[in-house]
Structure 1
Amino acid sequence: MTFRLSPLLAALGLAVIASSAGADTLLMERTQKETAMALPSRGMSMAQVESRYGAPRAKLDPRGGNKPQHPVINRWEYDNFIVYFERTHVIDAVVKRADSTEIGVKKNR
């Protein structure tokens, strides 16, 4: 009986390895696409971002600001990325998805 299970277990192991390799490829592709995208850079003002990229699809509710060490964080949503501002200057911009087939974090909306 163990002889028959061994090939089955080996096949399952190969399937897991193959699916992991596919996920790694997707991550590498995403990284390449993010590098190629022209995202807002750190330090740009809100006015500069809007001038260069147009009006955002949504300006999300600000967070923080309750203490000096917790500045207000604003988030602007564009079609392919989200821009994070500390007060009025960019601190980061993040690509939402590489493409429609990418599996990622589900929205809480």
Structure 2
Amino acid sequence: MKALTLSLALAAGLLLQAPASADTLLVDRVKAETQAMPARGQSMAQVEASFGAPERKHAAIAGPGDSKHNPPITRWDYAGFSVYFEHSHVIDAVAAKANPNEIGPKPVQ
């Protein structure tokens, strides 16, 4: 028992001396960068005036039926984020991963 206690104390001491390291999570980076992205409700013209022309503009996609229940959604891609529009106003801006190995949130299942 004394040997087990000594081993645990030694292991705890070694762990306390180990250098701390942490990964930057996508969620944490996004929180820090949200001020540099378009705000919900801005028009396409306001976004383009503030952030310049996007690298790519995707064609609008609408669901089946009338546009009231399935409005057209357009996506503009910038270097660090994508902006989603419903009709001509921002509904969301999403940060791109900094690199393929960046850790993001677990997908909802």
TM-score (norm 1): 0.63
| CA root-mean-square deviation | 2.3
Instruction: Give the AA of the match of 2:59.
Output: D
Structure 2 stretches lacking a partner, 5+ long: 1-20, 105-109
Aligned pairs, number: 80
d(CA) in 1 for partners of 2:101, 2:23: 13
Give 1 or 2 for the bigger CA radius of gyration: 2
Which structure has more relative contact order (CA 8 Å, sep 6+)? It is: 2
Structure 1 runs of 4+ aligned residues shifted over 6 Å read none
Instruction: Give the AA of the match of 1:61.
Output: A
2:13 corresponding residue in structure 1: none
What are the superposed Cα offsets for residues 9-63 of structure 1, whole Å, 9 maximum, x if unpaired? Answer: xxxxxxxxxxxxx9x9443xx2222122211010000000000001000001211
| Bigger fraction of residues in helix | 1
1:53 corresponding residue in structure 2: 51
TM-score (norm 2): 0.63
d(CA) in 2 for partners of 1:102, 1:34: 12
